[in-house]
Amino acid sequence: MIKKIILVFCYATLFSSLSKAQSGYSNYTQQTSRIQQLQASNPQLAKVRSLAKTVGGKDIWQITIGQGNVESKPAIVVVGGTEGNYLISTELAIGLAENLLDGSTTDSIRALLNKTTFYIFPNMSPDAMEQYFAPLKYERQGNAAPTDDDRDGKINEDGFDDLNGDGKITWMRVESPIGDYKTHPDNPAVILKADAVKGEKGKYLLYSEGIDNDKDGAFNEDGEGGVWFNKNFTYKNQSFSPGAGEYAVSEKESRALLDYLFEQFNVYAIVSFGSNNNLSTPFTYNAATATQPIIAGWLQQDVRADSMVSELYNKTVNMKDAPKTNAAGGDFLSWGYYHYGRYSFSTPGWWVPKTKPDSTKGEKPLTVDEATVNYLRWANQQGITNTYTEWKTIQHPDFPNQKVEVGGVDPFVLMNPPYKLVPDLVKKHTDFLMKLAGNQPELDIVNVKTEKPGAGLTRITLDVMNKGALASHSKLGERTYWVKRINVKVNTSGNQSFISGKKIQVLNSLEGYSSQQLSWLIKGTGKLTIEAGSPTTGSKTIEVPL
């Protein structure tokens, strides 16, 4: 027994050392080791299991963190890897789990885990994310499912080609009189779309680095890596578009996640990490889309909640100038709200800051605001190197008599920070998620009054109150029977009977810090109990003497 304890301790210590020594983004094997270590070191608080295996044979890990009966407590779902090129997303998700468990002996986190459950899915796109660590590095979104993206009856016949032999896929510019791209006026290494309205003339055609292998006029349109996790969901699924899958929720990982979540009635909010963003910039209310028969906009009460959570996020994370994005359809953020009925939030977790010119280096304000040129200026000011490939002339078989150059900004760098910034980002996002949990719906029964009108009767009046800042469930969730509403039940016994009031009644959504008054007239003596609760709020029971 002693030997077994020593072995477990050594195992946990070994993986803890590996985790602390991490100097770069974790690949799938390293992620798996970090995740398994969580349960080995904290078996009372953390449970780890494989939710499913991808077509590529990789586990979709789930981490459940909480104290006691986790399914009886309000829960937050945290999802990383919604898009395979956002490595920061998995670091934020795993880092949250590590921070919660590392701090579980502190009063604040102990109290948090006593009332909140976290269901964490660190990486929903392991097949795609491994491309970052592969011999040929390119931004991949799709899993390992074989797909015919160009619908020509062939599978994966036109993938990426490394034309300059540097082990990464960048860009290819081709000089052409019909080109619609030009060099950036502030940095000729960067090209951008010419604005025909302003009379600008282009000089280049722009393609991703590669060859037209199937001779259909398109480049790299049908390569390895098929279905995107963040395009495979049911809300406005983009049928027949590349990456969407043959039908909604066609993939093992998306199907397993939804099957699991639909059974977790205690989930009140989802936070996912990816390109979609309603945290730094909340949704606005649009009456036209929110009131049409098929709802396509957040309801007004839910927009208020999004604004409140967004303010909390911005104050905690303290990053400005976030890119504005619109969910394209088939995405996880939209599914979480429109088809799951929960509060659904998403953030990239990091973006390139808007960079001011450094006057000491003779820099001037940019005349054209463009992502790549802003990144290069920021990287230069931060001393970051080796993230841009200088343009190099190559001989290209598809353009035999034209000048073709390969180069440009390297894959992954525009959406993933240098790893040295990751620990601070993990801490800030952990703080935000803890504060979000601190605002979760929480039910109480207050202002209990009893009156004796005579004839052996007792009138009971009380308020069922939501002590949390967030509503008991989203207003859209109120419209679906799958989201369990607040159930109030009076338990009588012996000679007790109802004169007025319902023995069991269901309440609609209770907004944050709001209450609803209930009253009963009971005949009889002794004591009765009144219980109120729902999976997303927890429950409260009181005893009332008659």
Sheet holding 527-534, edge to edge: 504-507, 486-491, 527-534, 538-545
Into how many domains does the chain fold? 3
CA gap 103, 63 in Å, rounded: 16
Instruction: Indicate the pTM of the whole model.
Output: 0.93
Residues 74, 203, single domain; the answer is no
For 231, the token pair is: 């395009």
Q: Is residue 233 part of a domain?
A: yes
Q: Is residue 514 part of a domain?
A: yes
Q: Give the integer Cα–Cα distance in Å for 56 and 404.
A: 35
Domain harbouring 98, CATH code = 3.40.630.10
Claim to verify: residue 271 and residue 158 sit in the same structural domain: no
If asked whether residues 73 and 117 sit together in one domain, one would say yes
| Burial class, 207, CB count within 10 angstroms (exposed 0-12 / middle 13-18 / buried 19+) | buried
Question: What distance in Å separates the CA atoms of residue 390 and residue 405, rounded to the nearest whole number?
Answer: 9
Q: Residue 352 has what DSSP assignment?
A: P
Asked whether residue 266 is assigned to any structural domain, the reply reads: yes
Locate 509 and state its tokens. 């959504």
* DSSP per-residue letters across 440-507: S--EEEEEEEEEEEETTEEEEEEEEEE-SSS-SS-TTGGG-TTS--EEEEEE--TT-EEEES-SEEEE
Is 139 within a domain? no
Please tell me the distance from the alpha carbon of residue 304 to that of residue 203, in angstroms, as a whole number. 47
- Report the alpha-carbon angle 22-162-223, nearest 5: 90
Shared domain check, 341 and 427: yes
CA angle 25, 220, 86 (to 5 degrees): 20
Distance CA 34, CA 93 (A): 12
Cα separation, 538 vs 73, in Å, equals 6
CA atoms within 13 A on the CB side of 196: 3
In a domain, 184, yes or no: yes
Do 136 and 162 touch, CB atoms closer than 8 A? yes
CATH, residue 466:
2.60.40.10
pLDDT of residue 360: 84
Is the CA virtual torsion 360, 361, 365, 369 positive or negative? negative
User: Do 340 and 209 sit in the same domain of this protein?
Assistant: no
The tokens 């390293």 sit on which residue?
30
> Would you state the structure tokens that stand for residue 106, as one six-digit string?
């502190």
CA dist., res. 524 & res. 446, Å (int):
23
Same domain, 468 and 486: yes
Closest CA to 502 of 511, 492, 512: 492
Q: For residue 533, which of 439, 404, 445, 447 has the smallest C-alpha distance?
A: 445
Q: Which amino acid is at 125?
A: S
Q: Are residues 314 and 370 in the same domain?
A: no
Q: Looking at residue 73, what is its pLDDT?
A: 96
Contacts of 11 by beta carbon, 8 Å cutoff, 6+ apart: 40
| Alpha carbon 528 to its chain's center | 45
pLDDT given for residue 220 in this prediction:
76
Shared-domain flag, residues 96 and 193: no
Q: Are strands 443-454 and 404-409 parallel, antiparallel or unpaired?
A: unpaired
CA distances from residue 387 to 22, 77, 84, 409 in whole angstroms, order as listed: 21, 34, 19, 6
β-partners of residue 182 are 192
What tokens appear for 302 in the block?
A: 């839910």
Q: For 531, how many CA atoms within 13 A lie in the half-sphere containing its CB?
A: 7
Burial (Cβ within 10 Å: 0-12, 13-18, ≥19) of residue 324: exposed
| pLDDT tens-digit profile, the chain (546 residues) | 333 333 333 334 444 444 456 789 999 999 999 999 999 999 999 999 999 999 999 999 999 999 999 999 999 999 999 999 999 999 999 999 999 999 999 999 999 999 999 999 999 999 999 999 999 999 999 998 988 676 767 777 668 899 999 999 999 999 999 999 999 999 999 999 999 899 999 999 999 999 988 787 777 776 787 899 999 999 999 988 999 999 999 999 999 999 999 999 999 999 999 999 999 999 999 999 999 989 999 999 999 999 999 999 999 999 988 888 888 899 999 999 999 999 999 999 999 999 998 888 888 899 999 999 999 999 999 999 999 999 999 999 999 999 999 999 999 999 999 999 999 999 999 999 999 999 999 999 999 999 999 989 999 999 999 999 999 999 999 998 889 999 999 999 989 999 999 999 999 999 999 999 999 999 999 999 999 999 999 999 999 999
Which of 486, 480, 518 is closest to 502 using CA atoms? 518
Judge if 255 and 113 occupy the same domain.
yes
Whether residue 184 is found in the same domain as residue 332: no
**100 with 10, same domain?**
yes
The Cα–Cα gap between 525 and 36 comes to: 56
- Examine residue 141 and state whether it is found in any structural domain, yes or no: no
DSSP state of 336: I
For residue 348, give the DSSP letter. -
314 and 378 part of one domain: no
Residue 329 covered by a domain: yes
Q: Is residue 507 domain-resident? A: yes
Task: Give the whole-angstrom CA distance, residue 73 versus residue 104.
Answer: 17
Whose CA is closest to 466, among 497, 437, 443, 435?
443
Domain that holds residue 536: 443-545
Taking the C-alpha atoms of residue 274 and residue 88, their distance in angstroms, rounded to an integer, is 9
